[in-house]
Structure 1
Amino acid sequence: MSQLVTLATCSLNQFALDFEGNARRILESIRQAKAAGASLRIGPELEITGYGCLDHFLEADTTTQAWEALAMILANPVCEDILIDIGMPVWHKNVLYNCRIISYNKEILLIRPKLHLANDGNYREMRYFTPWKGETIVEDFYLPPAIEKLTAGQRKCRIGDALIQTRDTCLGTETCEELFTPRSPGSGAGLDGCEIISNSSGSHHELRKLNTRVDLIRQETLRSGGIYLYSNQQGCDGDRLYYDGSAMIIVNGRIVAQGSQFSLSDVEVVTATVDLEDVRSYRSIKSRAMQASHQKAYERVEVELRLSNDSDDFDFDLKPSPEISAKFLLPEEEIAYGPACWLWDYLRRSNQAGFFLPLSGGIDSCATAILVHSMCRLVFKDAVEKKDPQVLKDLLRIAGEPATSSWRPKNPQEIATKIFHTAYLGMETNSSADTRSRAKELASDLGSYHLDLNIDTCYNAVVALFTTVTNFVPKYKMYGGTPATNLALQNIQARLRMVLSYLFAQLLPTVRGRNAKNPDNSNPGGLLVLGSANVDESLRGYLTKYDCSSADINPIGGISKTDLKRFILWSSTNFQLPILQSFIDAPPTAELEPITADYTQSDEADMSMSYAELSVYGTLRKTYKLGPYSMWSRLTHQWGDKLSPQQVYEKVRTFFWFYGINRHKMTTITPSYHAENYSPDDNRFDLRPFLYPGWDWAWKKVEGRLAAMGERATQIPQHAEDENKKSV
């Protein structure tokens, strides 16, 4: 006989230390879960405090206020008669744990600490938390006064790796990283008869990562059966990461519910009706039974509750949710929507009036502008078409409109006109008519408030000041200058653009009469300056320290040039912007040197390497953790069909030379949206030195190997030579 139960998971847009707002969103998710008939609701990791509190987790205020917020939540009538799983930090015997709090009708049933902490890449959980003592270990926990008062005398509960036993089934929990471990806790719990496993996560977006997440959940339930509820934070939690939601429910490897990956909604609840008997039938395999009979028993905390309907009160309208196909976006779509949602969260929570972007006419600033356009499209859809009250409220405030305003944009461009500002900061001798016209046309298509100006006056004033003080006239290399003077003159332009960008960003709202129009507006701030250096340029150091790469935030700072080009092509069709093809066709150039009849500056020529090669170097350096010698060894095989071992050596050595001398630039890199796992972000993700002595030991090893190869070291594959001759 069927035992149908409706379960709810959710994605919440929580904000670090926003206790009141976080509690409000938690309560709304519980309300929606109950409205859908759910008897169990789970939420994201550390949802009461927000995941990104970082060192604030070390403050006593954070955990004290978390207990106070929990008491306020559980006291709300909406929490009655539903099993609730909520995440927050907990001190136990003077040790801080990352915990799940499982409660029913105000009673705390179990505190389940995280067993395996995320402590690499973007995460430093062991800086704040300690892993729980071990599987199946359980102790008494003495509740704080706020909870004892709420529960009319409950003094203690159990804390540890235990299960919840209802009258009809058994539940267990995992937290985020535990899903990614070789032997996840849910496996042992499932062998001990746990039928429902929940996973509450703070898992960030990274290109192509959702596929891995879904595969892990499906494999866990395919092997041993079970119902798996996955909850995840969604949104920007005050840092570089965007948590990409995708709450889901999977039964015996079959997906029966999946939420959105990118959304402006603060609360998204996903529910499904599942049959407990499906799990029991799936688990009737004898090989599983043999392992289950040897599984160490978990302590069970009993609760007088049935998750399923009583057989005497059978609901003939209730039926199991059907299997659905997993929803995966193309990488181009992930780029279009992830950074766009991140930008909106950052803007609405920073209390600024919009964005300012130096629009150069090149592909990087173009991609950044398109991401703002994508954000405007999402805001228009939610605020105007879907009439989401929170998105509309935020839009009116950011746009400088009173809360009672009747203004409603007719299209995304009308939103951009109010909150997006662009400027072409050119030079008469160095900037081409093509880049200027491309920038102007793109700004027009997107609806941004656009300025077109030359900075020659400022540039000439700086050069004249230097010459007056030193009696030395710096020149470009084409006019007889040295590499040092050539670079210095380029850097003057780049840094002046940064200074001017911040000037315009601070005063343009005043120039446009915003504050005069609405003097009582609670958001009179300036504009956030957007950076547009991609991950490959940061890796190579192909940027000027404190130029336009030094912005407030950078939505493309963790995205490769290759993926950005694919995103631009996708946007050309899907956003109906034919102008974008001209950005793809144009060769990348910084336009910092004079343009002559026979010379135009080229990015790849200046870098002495291609963007495609940079992606390879970055992946091998960070993802595969290869040093100079190992990288050369790997690439002699990977590129052996087109390059000789000697040529590979020269390329690898060139990369590491520029990487080493420019690493210091990463100490000032703009906070960038994280999308690529070889990001060189020194502040959060890539903890390497910024001063290097060189790699002499490695180079001597490579040179020894090349010498031992003899003539083979310089031999290029014959077909590669033929191709080179054809191209010539």
Structure 2
Amino acid sequence: MNYGFVKVAAAVPHVQVADCFYNIEKIERLMRQASEKGVQIMAFPELAVTAYTCLDLFAQQTLLDNAEKALLKLVNDTADLDILTFVGIPLRTENRLFNTAVAFQGGRILGVVPKTHLSNYKEFQEQRWFTSALELQKPTINICGQEYPLDNYLLFNSGHISVGIEICEDLWVPVPPSSLLAMKGANIIFNISASNELIGKHNYLSSLICQQSARCIAGYVYASSGFGESSTDLVFAGNGIIAENGNLLAKSPRFTMEEQLVVSEIDIETLQNDRMVNNSFMRGAAGLLKKETQTIDFEVRVPGGFELTRPVDPHPFTPSGDALKERCEEIFQIQVAGLAKRILHAHAQTAVVGISGGLDSTLALLVTVMTFDALKMPREQIIGITMPGFGTTGRTYNNAVNLIRSLGVTLKEISIKEACLQHFKDINHDPSVHDVTYENSQARERTQILMDVANQENGLVIGTGDLSELALGWATYNGDHMSMYGVNGSIPKTLVKYLVEWVANNRVDEASRLTLLDIVDTPISPELIPADENGNIKQKTEDLVGPYELHDFFLYHFLRFGSHPSKIYFLAQKAFAGAYDNATIKKWLYTFFRRFFQQQFKRSCLPDGPKVGSVSLSPRGDWRMPSDAVSRLWLEEIESLSL
């Protein structure tokens, strides 16, 4: 496999009802197109060899005999192709007719999967012709003199790839065969189908496919009949749908007279990681998996020049369009609910927030304001403290003061300069030496002020640090690293920006809006080094540790999927094509892993805070790592990456 990806396809060929040899010509042509695209596994619709709408012609020996002959011709004519292919065909055995999917590759039939659940209601009458797989007695089927495996629970395995098959109606029952196949190891499910179109049915079907892929933690490839099926009573629009673990990857247009070949990639590595992490996946399997599953080996082709066609989101934490509005509202609700519970439990009268004029403290203040509004507590009981230091610029200072005032919060200004100078004198540190002692003493002085004011006012210090800073260790230990409740601890930096911008455009008055938008545009900085000669920010975080959009991308794929650095590098190249060159991505990827391992000790003692998304670094939940773990394996892999 290429970085764990398997290239799959759902094909919708033209058919002519009962014209088997015409149909296999169309199937072969799509197989060859798929081969040129590097497809490794593909499927055609239910009964594609004959067409689904043959009705009582399924009882005609001429049709059934020629269907078998056409199948063998298709298998032989495509012997030069190494795509594992599933095609629908009616086959006879045990004096009965079965609706089946035949698996073949490289000129060989590998096995046959009969349909389990026959649709026999309203417009469907499959029991008129076919028998359910539940009534099978023999484990093999004879096709033109040769015996092949026959079972509704066949698995086709190649290394880490395990493929299961179900047919149309099988998906629609309460416990689909794919659920059991997944617990037996199938990580890609193919469904060959002939589902007619009705008003509203397509949206339901799409949600059903995505939901089943999520329940199975699997890829799901659905191929359904299209143009050419009989329109006597029904219309078939042609559906090729590919989903993975709840996410729709690709789909074909409907109601087109063109043949369809829908191609995407299933990420086997991430699916297996999710199954391993989600240890409830196999719960209850012992009571359900009574039937033995037969496995059949196949060879998966790994073509050269692998190209990933599925999109890679450069900002996985931040949805776009209408979804962003919904996401922002939900995030604030989670943060507010968490903080409200903590304030009530602690019987706190106030909340103390250190306001720097930067993104993180701004978001923490906004959450605090929303919480006090929800609790019907006056905003004046929130104390916003601005603490100018040696690196504070006029821009950030003014934004901090203006925001506190426009939100109706109580403002306190406490300069840290004199206290820090006294501290430098006490420890015999030269204040002209702008080293880590110089910087961290300021962060710790600010934290001391916040803690002491909270004690004075019977309040809680609301933490401002975000998820990205925690991952990189970009916080002063026992300085801004510490608080009494950290509302931003699960919010990555890229999302902080969107949240603040969303509030600016949707929730505040004009004065606050202008201030918030200027904060969004301000360079990210701890402002612990004096400004330049023009009074501008001199210490820019992203110049020192790298772009946060890259680090958030690395963080997501590392924690969410446990991905190798090499795979993260490969995905980042596609996601940030044209924005960062390979050397830049590799440089900051190395920085990310080096800092992530070095800074774990800060994450091992984080304050409480609400989990917001699927990625979190709380030592009490999602991430428990030894503080002295060694990063050598990860860094050596990055060093070996080619540019």
**TM-score category of the 2 structures, normalised to the smaller one:** 0.3 to 0.5
TM-score (norm 1): 0.41
Bigger Rg, which one: 2
Give the TM-score normalised by the residue count of structure 2: 0.46
